[in-house]
A and B are shown apart, each in its own frame.
Chain A
Amino acid sequence: MRTRRDFIKICSLSLGATALTGGVINRLVGANVPETSSSTLRPLTGGRRVPTYCEVCFWKCAGWSHVLENGQIQKITGNMNDPQCKGRLCPRGTGGVGMFTDPDRLKTPLIRVTKNGEQTYRQASWNEALDFIAAKMKAIAEKHGPESMALFNHGSSGKYFTHLLNAFGSNNVAAPSFAQCRGPRDTGFELTFGESVSSPEVTDIRDTRCLVLIGSHIGENMHNGQVQEMSEAIDRGAVIITVDPRLSTAASKSKYWLPIKPSTDLALLLAWIHVLIYDGLYNKEYVEKYAEGFNELKEHVKNYTPEWAYGITTLKPELVRLTAREMANAAPSAIIHPGRHTSWYGDDVQRSRAIAILNALLGTWGNRGGIFFKEGIKIPDFPHPAYPKPSWSWQDTLNGRYPLAKEAVTNTIIEASIPGEGKEHIIKGWIVSGTNLIVSIPLKDQLMKAMQSLDLLVVVDTMPMEITGYADVVLPECTYLERYDDLRTTAHREPTIALRMPAVEPLYDTKPAWWISKQIGERLGLGSYYNYKDFREVLDWQLKQAGSSLKEMEQIGLKKFDRKTPVYILPGSDYKFKTESGKIQLYSHELEAAGFDPMPKLTLHPQPEEGFYRLIYGRAPMHTFSRTANNRNLVALMPENSVWINPQVAELWGLKKDQYIWLKNQSGVISNFSVKVRITERIRWDSVYIVHGFGHHHKPLTYAFGRGVNDTELISNVMVDPVMGGTGMRGNFVTFIKDKSKKEVKS
């Protein structure tokens, strides 16, 4: 049966070719050659550098676009003054120019139409597309209320659509970066210290004497500042302890690598806490002064000895004691790194709590080489009327679940989009900006069902990602190199402001997101929220509030400001943590009140059955999630992912290096495409590893299509964290299918 919202490949436009002019067809479906010849580029500037900050990942390093006389962007380099990158961009930032030159970019607005019973997209003018969206949004507001519009976002553009929705009367704004990523960590740390470690993380790796990584693979996750600081730490001879079932790059640089049995991290953490307390290694003065609930904790971990943990983690007790001692020796100049992607097993807040408690016992928070206090520049919003108060919001979709979720949970918004009896709060329209939900959200069935039930699905993106195929309207955004954007005011060691300005005018018929948001807003009668003609006015006004100006920033790109508050706890001062009592919560009353364990307890997680291997996924330094898999400059470094298999396992299965196989998970889900085998000693025999972000199945991504395997499609078992709704994704097990004939390639 044909569904209301058929998945449309943007290239299937050619079916409706008669309606379109040849030129449009060529622009939409044709070119395999990057359109970077000088004729297609209209330079704003000639042979000079233009400030920007990177949009390839969330680190947002400040840099320069170098534009040649002929209007080509030759290269992008880092801004020497930016403490986030110190003039050194990572490979993705350096290769960011590939986002601009990508021949597969979205080029014009598209509207879904049904022609001869066949759903297809037709090219539309911006006016048509925007009118269409505004009309639909009005209809939704009339019928269900403005709260029935939701936004999923990632990256800089999300802010403009958040503003649009807030002005419209909804605050149902969710980002996969919470429930699918850093949410458990943030919640765990907030429960313990009253605040989390932010982004970029406020870990003082530069000055640390002991860095403990647990499931965090700095160097493969190319979080620029952290990678740079870890390198400095290596130079200074800091002790690095890495816990990972895989010999990550960081593990290979560590003094201690703890090749833990997957899913047992909490046992190790509890054993470390036990050793620190019972061997008297913890920072007594600090704990006494700043922490609450120590006695309860001591009693709680009494039996969690390294010997107890040995049977669970397979890590030798001596090693656990030795590493605990290393941390204590370095303390308070030590960091048990909170990690970033922490939604693993559904008890992730508790694991993050254990990490936070370890940090507390070592006294790292507020100390040099531990976790420092960030400071940023507060820049006021451009003046606009107060937002209307929505009659309900995402908290109401939780129905009593996830009581400690501080940000909207993507999956409950998706759930609220599926009509059901007695559902009070229903969502009927989505704007999706800069996130490819199809690849970033687990529980695909739910997602599909939700998308079929919507009255409006708008996708704003630069690339024809999978999600664009489900949209009613696709809006082509210009890349970060072609637009002004909101100021970067990230808080970190030093307060800074960074400017992004266009290096060239937008290619094709693409527009910046601020413009799109303003246009929709004005059509919705929300013009007073957009009281400017050009975004430059907003930036100039905001910069003047901070004592700079757009003119100045266009020259320097980044401005540093002096700190007003101390970086660490000053000796002799009495620091108040941001918890209710002002003290670190070793014992969490908040968790207890919400009906959860006040202190982390071990949950044992299922292990793979015979013939199955735990699916561990991670990052490669040259790619950001699934968004760079089509970037020609970056795929030159890594065109596809491979599945890492231990040599013993490979021998058992008769697998050869570079052979292509399919993966099948515990529920019988078979990967869409085959994946290359990498036989390596870097992975445990009970696990396999793949880099996330490959295996695109959308043909308009002409390069990325069919290359590698998408881990998300194999993650059908999701263990949701009851505390905040994080979707634990590490409980999936895969086996190998060698015979190609048994599995046809779907397109």
Chain B
Amino acid sequence: MREELFVSGRNIPNIDPYLNIWHWQIPIYLFLGGVAAGILFFSGIFTILGKDHKMRTTVKVAPLLVPFLLVFGLFMLFLDLKHKLYFWQLYTTIRLESPMGWGAWVLMIITPISILWSASYVREIFPGWDWKFDILKTFESWLIKYRLWIAWPMTIYAVILGIYTGILLSAFNARPLWNTSILGPLFLVSGMSTAAALIIMLSKDHKERKIMGRIDILLILIELFFIVHLLMGFLAGSEAQINAASLFLGGKFTAPFFTFVVFLGLIFPAILEIFELKGFKVPVYIPAILVLLGGLIFRFIIVEAGQITRFLY
């Protein structure tokens, strides 16, 4: 029998017996980042494709939420910090190797873009809105004029933000469950899928819902493919990675992962959406809420499980 123990009684809070330094704040931060990235991506891409009038909710309504999502997400990150008064130093340093720093800067850029983008649509959505000052009105017309110019960087940054939510985790070599490059695309797709679900919920336009529904089904399929790919990749990997995969294949996260993420968060809503496309009457918010919840739980599980996995020596 092999036995491994600390003989010096080490039992550090949040480190022993399992690492748990990131609690609920980080998964929420990642989730909100993903949803925001997805919304901005759809909004930007449909604008670039010239479909902004057909996709009103996608392009114009949903982005109004994004600044709030992003600021709330940043607030979650702030809550995670344990030396909060020193927060500002995130923005006095540029460290390209640090995913945490990278994310802070991406948010620093995309949040103003999303605010500008939303501002350009405020009066269209809320006709009673008055910018009051002439300079703001001039600025607004300038924004509306150059929307397409904003759409391009916004779309690109949205993709970067979406991938970043995965890279924040995958950059940690020390956590075998996270340390896979598939995590970036997986989180991007998952973020887009949750964004699509949110748009479906908000949209009152049947056609738009149908388009987003189709997109969502496609994204869910890609996501499922990525998840299978993720686990297969681990199983073909080192012992630490095999152990990481085993958390989901018989280990303690198997039931929550397959129940809440894979089935209730992906397969079941996809089926419901397919039924809806086929003309069955399905309340739109059911699959949408399932996808959103699935996405949130997915991030909670990955963050918690990842911290348990480690190198064995």
Contacts and interface: CB of A to CB of B under 8 A. Distances in A.
Direct contact between A and B in the complex (CB less than 8 angstroms)?
Answer: yes
Interface of A: 622, 635-639, 647, 678-681
16 contacts: A622-B8, A635-B9, A636-B9, A637-B8, A637-B9, A638-B7, A638-B9, A639-B9, A647-B1, A678-B5, A679-B1, A679-B3, A680-B1, A680-B3, A681-B1, A681-B3
B78 to A, nearest CB: 31
A678 B4 CA distance: 11
The 3 closest A-B pairs by CB, nearest first: A637-B9, A647-B1, A637-B8
Interface SS majority for chain A: loop
Contacts of B3: 679-681
A330 B8 CA distance: 36
B62 to A, nearest CB: 51
Contacts of A678: 5
A650 to B, nearest CB: 10
Contacts of B9: 635-639
Interface residues of B, number: 6
A544 to B, nearest CB: 45
Contacts of A622: 8
A678 B9 CA distance: 14
Interface in B1-40: 1, 3, 5, 7-9
A478 B93 CA distance: 53
Contacts of A647: 1
A679 B2 CA distance: 10
Contacts of A635: 9
A681 B8 CA distance: 19
Given A622-B8, A647-B1, A680-B1, 13 more contacts: A635-B9, A636-B9, A637-B8, A637-B9, A638-B7, A638-B9, A639-B9, A678-B5, A679-B1, A679-B3, A680-B3, A681-B1, A681-B3
Contacts of B5: 678
A342 to B, nearest CB: 26
Nearest to A249: B7
A658 to B, nearest CB: 10
A647 B5 CA distance: 16
A495 B8 CA distance: 35
Nearest to B9: A637
A10 B141 CA distance: 81
A635 B9 CA distance: 8
A637 B10 CA distance: 7
Contacts of B8: 622, 637
Contacts of A679: 1, 3
Contacts of A636: 9
A680 B5 CA distance: 11
Nearest to B1: A647
A639 B9 CA distance: 7
A693 to B, nearest CB: 15
Nearest to A621: B7
B2 to A, nearest CB: 9
A635 B1 CA distance: 28
A635 B8 CA distance: 10
A637 B5 CA distance: 12
Interface in B262-310: none
Contacts of A637: 8-9
A731 B9 CA distance: 31
A678 B3 CA distance: 10
